[in-house]
Structure 1
Amino acid sequence: MLPSTMLEDMHEDVERCVRAVRSKDARFDGWFFTGVVTTGIYCRPSCPAVPPKAENMRFYPSAAAAQQAGFRACKRCRPDASPGSPEWNHRADAVARAMRLIADGIVDREGVPGLAVRLGYSTRQIERQLNAELGAGPLALARAQRAQTARLLIETTPLPMGDVAFAAGFASIRAFNDTVREVFALTPTELRDRVAKGKPPAGSGTLSFRLPFRAPLCPDNLFGHLAATAVPGVEEWRDGAFRRALRLPHGHGVAALRPHPDHVVCTLTLTDLRDLTIAISRCRWLLDLDADPVAVDDQLRADPVLAPLVGKAPGRRVPRAADGPEFAVRAVLGQQVSVAAARTHAARLVRAHGEPIGDPLGEGGGLTHLFPTPGALADLDPESLAFPRARRVTLAALVDALAKDEIDLSVGSDWESARARLAALPGFGPWTIETIAMRALGDPDAFIPGDLGVRTAARTLGLPHTPAALTRHADAWRPWRAYAVQYLWATGDHAINYLPAS
């Protein structure tokens, strides 16, 4: 049995990689990629094809590195569509932050210099660090991502190839054609013909596809939490799917996410298809789909108090936020009030200051606005808000800091720097800061021992229930304390713990 702990630099351990390939272990999809020298293709570890001889395998830390080495993507296992590496989920260093930003489209929008500025490094330093760890620089990593976007558009829309190239982020038709041929060993037209099978693709504005994840996945708390806390007008649960409006670089979109046993169906309606890659990335981030649940659960199961909870419903994810600044505002609105009251406050802000949009479902849908940006809230009159003066001061200070870019709550933020800047604002205590760290920043070790639900669960389970004592006990859960919170919350009879009825 292969270890389920985090496996940094696993691609350098040939023996373990060979065992993973021979056992077709899907847990390691995204951890590394296998190049087969006799065929010139690269695969994910779980590829259903007969495994090659060990001497014919080469291992790479990223799809981009395999492509740079001259390997083409396997048409059978589609390694470019693997879940992302869990490394970028739990790490807070520059490489992990860079990978999260690249997934969010920064290189395509701002180039490598823009990536470097956001990270506070020189372009040479970023390129050196990414090449050392991933075998490819930021341009190659972004190119691999563009290739995957191009494949999705080719296979699922009737767009002319020139439009596909533009939407996927290629600078020219020639670069698009060359990349598709190099990565998939097919021309764009051949790639479309190969999957068409007489079925017309979806309309050019709406795409539907599967989001893979590492099993197991418990959808109850994940979708239950998102649905129970949904802001009216921006989010809703409808017909078995969580739907929300997304603010994107080139326009807006609406995502509908529907859980299935082995994947999540994602339906996207975009005003500009150039936002496809970013929308996919944000949906995966929202659902925490790149997590390594086996590593998380193995560690938490070592605590005899948590073991029965993990055994009952393994694979709990942390429900995240599609937009960091939005969630920070919502966290302040939710201070010391019920979930229902927080939703009411947020809905009022949305109606008064949000940007109106049309729902793709027409009158059958409930999405009416994008959540207001910090800039749109900058002129908000605090006295107009129906909650205590201290919280009005807190909200005004947060909005001002976000509007002035004094706090970075993006996927590429420095977690500790963000915490420190939030702590300097009035009214920001440990609960608000750690809630933002957990759900907006994505820190898997964020912990809220003072949360009422956590303390109630701790008391019920016989754990220490004062914040200080529980924090000491939880040291054994690190670096997965945010996931431990999900298991503790699950002991309560609250709507956040249940998959809504369709």
Structure 2
Amino acid sequence: MRWSDEHLYERILAKDASFNGRVLTGVLTTGIYCLPSCPARKPLASNVRFFRDEPAAQAAGLRPCKRCRPDAFYRGEDADLARLESVLAQAVADPAAFPEVEALAEAAGMGVTKLKDLFRDHVHLQPAAFLQRVRIQWACDRLAAGQCDLTDLAMDSGYESASGFHEAFRRQTGMSPGAYRTMLGSDHFTLAMPAGLRVQDVLAFHGRDGQSVSERVVGHRLHKAFLCEGRPSVLSITFLEEAVEVSLQGAAGPAAVATAHGATLRLLGWQGDPSAFESAHPRLARGREGLRVLLTLDPFEALVWAILGQQVNLAFAYALRRDLIRLVDLHVGDSLFAHPDAARIAALAVEDLLALRFSRRKAEYLLHAAAEVASGRLLIEGRTTATGVARDLLALRGCGPWTAQYVLMRGLGFRDCLPVGDTGLTLALQRWFQLEARPGPAETQSLMAHFAPHRSLATFHLWSSLKGTPA
């Protein structure tokens, strides 16, 4: 090692990131090793030993620091992303431990400004909005598990007042905590209509395949067949003037009703309040105020659709989806079939899909993706960063950037996604910006940068500007 210990100690006091990868700092009193840039409180020089690489530090009995994540750095991962995902997981598990954004920043070992930048790039939310979301989801989980005292629940969720808890709960779930608790003992519930919800757009979107065997639109009612707590069930959503009435047929019990409630919010695009986008881009939103990014019932359904829709026209993609759902045969209700889960699709053979007019490559891609999800090797439920999910999706055979971005946008609700290469998007951009030709990938990125951090909703508006129903 060509530097003196005194010089290296000066570098760690300065948190000099230029020395990351050149040397590791071992802290003998805590038994950990760190990157020179580690934001943790610095040890006394007498307690420090320097190492050339990880094997040398580990041979001395030291383990990697959980704040600066030297193990992630040496694997070539983004250390900032690793730290962010670690603190997000902590907040999901115990939201009351993070009463304000500053607590998140401290746990992540960074300043608030840097934390907000990372949230913008990876989470597509402000840190405060993320904390609100995980607090209310934590409260919903506790109610479904049988916790009854709402005052205690408010405090346990990280709220200083019952009124603040009730307001946040109503805004995020469409009902009061007491109404949610009552709902768990029933098979139906009512939500206040989201302000400005474009009901006809919701019905047209979910009913865009008029021959679908898993969705059906009748008047102002949407029926969606799905697997609820492992049982084929039907979610029926009726749109009234100022409310949405929802009923569940099939699965029963608090967990099933809680699942049905969450599914309803997804189908309505509940978390996608468009007001910030409309204020920033009134010209693109004009005439479509209230448009939201509507989600599939779960992320795996979005992944299946994205694979089926690759390089075929919509009519053929719809037919493939219908045939796949019929093949698995999760029949429920009035000639409806639930969308199959990953395990059931993974159990199919390539020959089963070839008989349905799948190409061999598409069949192999679908079965591989289903097997990865079913085995737990690919986690797409409950993920906190778009970057992490995109990385894992892109590792799948047959999953390119368009497929990954589509799943992020429509399966997981991330707000700043861009399905580069989408033919509908490029046509809409050509018309909107009055271009002589459709933009290529680089120009698409450049044109859509104007709409960040709302590129998911901008994509929906551009699709809708073609006078069709987005896929």
Q: TM-score range by the shorter chain?
A: 0.5 to 0.7
Q: Identify the residue that residue 270 of structure 2 maps to in structure 1.
A: 289
Aligned mates of 1:415, 1:231 — CA distance in 2: 33
Q: Identify the residue that residue 491 of structure 1 maps to in structure 2.
A: 465
Counterpart amino acid of 1:344? A
Q: Deviations over 1:330-378 (max 9, x none)?
A: 2111112222222221222222224333x2xxxxx342x2221111122
Q: 1:95: how far off?
A: 13
Q: Identify the residue that residue 247 of structure 1 maps to in structure 2.
A: 227
Q: Is the partner of 2:373 in helix, strand or coil? A: helix
Counterpart amino acid of 2:140? Q
- Percent pairwise identity: 21
Counterpart amino acid of 2:463? W
Moved more, 270-279 or 420-429: 270-279
After superposition, the CA RMSD in angstroms is: 3.9
Change (3 A) 1:407 1:351: same
Change (3 A) 1:262 1:205: closer
Aligned mates of 2:93, 2:367 — CA distance in 1: 39
Aligned mates of 1:350, 1:469 — CA distance in 2: 38
Q: Is the partner of 1:312 in helix, strand or coil? A: coil
Change (3 A) 1:176 1:440: same
Question: 1:405 and 2:376 equivalent?
Answer: yes
RCO comparison, higher one (Cα < 8 Å, 6+)? 1
Aligned mates of 1:337, 1:479 — CA distance in 2: 30
Aligned mates of 2:150, 2:89 — CA distance in 1: 35
Q: Is the 8 A contact 2:227 2:341 kept in 1?
A: no
Q: 1:126: how far off?
A: 5.3
Question: 1:375 and 2:343 equivalent?
Answer: yes
1:279 aligned to 256, 260, 266, which one?
260
Q: Identify the residue that residue 11 of structure 2 maps to in structure 1.
A: none
Q: Is the partner of 1:428 in helix, strand or coil? A: coil
TM-score (norm 1): 0.58
Q: Which runs of 5+ in 1 are unaligned?
A: 1-92, 99-115, 150-167, 185-193, 196-200, 302-306, 360-364, 498-502
Change (3 A) 1:485 1:220: farther
Q: Identify the residue that residue 145 of structure 1 maps to in structure 2.
A: 140
Q: 1:494: how far off?
A: 2.5
Which structure would you say has the larger Rg?
Answer: 2
Q: Identify the residue that residue 325 of structure 1 maps to in structure 2.
A: 300
Q: 1:284: how far off?
A: 0.7
Q: Identify the residue that residue 413 of structure 2 maps to in structure 1.
A: 442
Q: 1:243: how far off?
A: 1.3
Pairing 1:225-244 to 2, within 5 Å after superposition: 225-229=205-209, 232-244=212-224
Aligned mates of 1:129, 1:230 — CA distance in 2: 47
Aligned mates of 2:392, 2:342 — CA distance in 1: 16
Counterpart amino acid of 1:227? G
Q: Is the 8 A contact 2:232 2:331 kept in 1?
A: no
Q: Is the 8 A contact 1:205 1:270 kept in 2?
A: no
Q: Is the 8 A contact 1:216 1:293 kept in 2?
A: no
Q: Identify the residue that residue 315 of structure 1 maps to in structure 2.
A: 290
Aligned mates of 1:454, 1:259 — CA distance in 2: 30
Q: Is the 8 A contact 2:187 2:252 kept in 1?
A: no
Q: Identify the residue that residue 129 of structure 1 maps to in structure 2.
A: 98
Change (3 A) 1:402 1:179: same
Q: Is the partner of 2:262 in helix, strand or coil? A: helix
Change (3 A) 1:472 1:263: farther
Counterpart amino acid of 1:494? G
Aligned mates of 1:125, 1:462 — CA distance in 2: 47
Q: 1:472: how far off?
A: 0.5
Q: 1:252: how far off?
A: 5.0
Q: Identify the residue that residue 170 of structure 1 maps to in structure 2.
A: 146
Counterpart amino acid of 2:430? R
Q: Deviations over 1:154-197 (max 9, x none)?
A: xxxxxxxxxxxxxx4316xxx569979x979xxxxxxxxx99xx
Q: Identify the residue that residue 452 of structure 1 maps to in structure 2.
A: 423
Q: Deviations over 1:5-48 (max 9, x none)?
A: xxxxxxxxxxxxxxxxxxxxxxxxxxxxxxxxxxxxxxxxxxxx
Aligned residue-pair number: 336
Aligned mates of 1:177, 1:278 — CA distance in 2: 21
Pairing 1:286-365 to 2, within 5 Å after superposition: 286-301=267-282, 307=283, 309-357=284-332, 359=333, 365=334
Question: 1:219 and 2:194 equivalent?
Answer: no
TM-score (norm 2): 0.61
Aligned mates of 2:132, 2:83 — CA distance in 1: 11
Q: Deviations over 1:199-239 (max 9, x none)?
A: xx99x7641412442x3233343332211147833211123
Q: Identify the residue that residue 39 of structure 1 maps to in structure 2.
A: none
Q: Is the 8 A contact 1:250 1:274 kept in 2?
A: no
Counterpart amino acid of 1:299? A
Q: Deviations over 1:300-354 (max 9, x none)?
A: 22xxxxx0x4121211101111111122112111112222222221222222224
